[in-house]
Structure 1
């Protein structure tokens, strides 16, 4: 039986061709669809919204951080795809003794491309995966660079939560040419006063995990009257699977919008 290293450097032994796959990660669920292995995907989370048709046809095994282990057991998976950040350590460690669990850990584009190729190989769709990864890599090489601007990217409110260094979103911001005003690692919490002190030129309010809306943009604009405040598509910044094919076109429109405000 073939063995694969996951992104935690664990060796995972899989069947020659997994037939009962569970995805615990929305962006990896979409990747499996685009790799053409949908007939072998038996379980997804309630947050796996792409493709839309799977929400009605695939068994839901709970949320990314609230798994239903009895449902997973009933599906008898021979491959589970998990993520270090999106799933809890307790859940993953509970699954590992019973099933082959391949865990991703993605903080930049290169690790995302590595994941796509490995998942493709493990699921018998290597050719598609390589083509997809090459397409994504080429698209990012053509990404236009904006003038250096100081950006604050928020993912939660009450309290405000942002993205720092050593995150996939930070890597996406850097590839667009932006300077992240947050120098701490991972996901710091900020007060109103700390946001003002950061003096960002641009504030991006993500559509996920918190669904920011106009009322939140207005509140930030009150705090930062001289900043440009934008609602942005969080999937484009944080989904590290096949959705990356769409990211560069979105980033290019966003760059144009920021450098040429209406």
Structure 2
């Protein structure tokens, strides 16, 4: 018997190391692959795009908010992987009728480290998970040295249009913005609030407006639309995966952040 505690402090009882995994979170699917667990993955969502070939070799069971429970059940999973933010409570309750469910809950890099460690225990790949944690810590320490002399700038991080929505506080995006010395003008609002762009100067008058590549496909016309209401803000298109994917994608994020700071500095 193997007992695992997930990030909601829920106890998961398993007879043995899970060999058949259904992952309903794109960033966690990528993490499984990078831990060497590709052969154990049997089901994914249509949003699990890294690595791309998994969508062709694994069963697609739906999206992150809505899955086909019959398809999941047919895969006979030993465990199903979810996330508190990505998936719904109702989904988790229904999935638990099929197999044990592990739920992650990520706000910070510390939480990401913890999840990697939990997967190491859960899937008996402790060596791989420790190596990943060590590499991630090295990259974090290196980035802290890079960022120490960079001047803070105020930022608004947009994730959706119609209605306009931004990253507020209490989420991994805000945490990584802070790590980069980007002061989120909406950090005191709920996690992903709706905002009125005509009030953006009153809300904090940002130096930078970030338009994320996901989940909304922002274009130049949207940058112009927001720019009409800012005072001096520079609009920057950013890779949303680097700011919101909290698995092994973080191993690529710090080089991206360095390049982003250099791009912003050059375009001042």
TM range (shorter): over 0.9
Q: 1:14-35 deviations in whole A, cap 9, x for unaligned?
A: 2422111000000000001101
- Structure 1 stretch 67-76 or stretch 175-184: which is displaced more? 175-184
- Does residue 1:189 correspond to 2:194, yes or no? yes
Question: For the Cα contact (< 8 Å) 2:83–2:104, is it kept in 1?
Answer: yes
Question: For the Cα contact (< 8 Å) 2:205–2:231, is it kept in 1?
Answer: no
Alpha-carbon distance, 1:225 to partner: 5.0
Residue among 168, 174, 177 paired with 1:170: 174
State the match for 2:21 in structure 1: 21
Q: Measure the CA separation in 1 of the matches of 2:160 and 2:86.
A: 15
State the match for 1:220 in structure 2: 226
State the match for 1:151 in structure 2: 155
- For the residue of structure 2 that corresponds to 1:189, the secondary structure is coil
CA-atom RMSD in angstroms? 1.1
Q: 1:53-108 deviations in whole A, cap 9, x for unaligned?
A: 11100000100001100000100100111000000111111112331100000011
Q: Which runs of 4+ in 1 moved over 4 A?
A: none
- For the residue of structure 2 that corresponds to 1:223, the secondary structure is coil
Consecutive unaligned residues in structure 1, runs of 5 or more: none
State the match for 1:255 in structure 2: 261
TM-score with structure 2 setting the length: 0.95
Q: Measure the CA separation in 1 of the matches of 2:229 and 2:142.
A: 35
State the match for 2:104 in structure 1: 104
State the match for 1:30 in structure 2: 30
Consecutive unaligned residues in structure 2, runs of 5 or more: none
- Structure 1 stretch 140-149 or stretch 5-14: which is displaced more? 140-149
- Structure 1 stretch 125-134 or stretch 200-209: which is displaced more? 125-134
Question: For the Cα contact (< 8 Å) 1:15–1:78, is it kept in 2?
Answer: no
- Does residue 1:206 correspond to 2:212, yes or no? yes
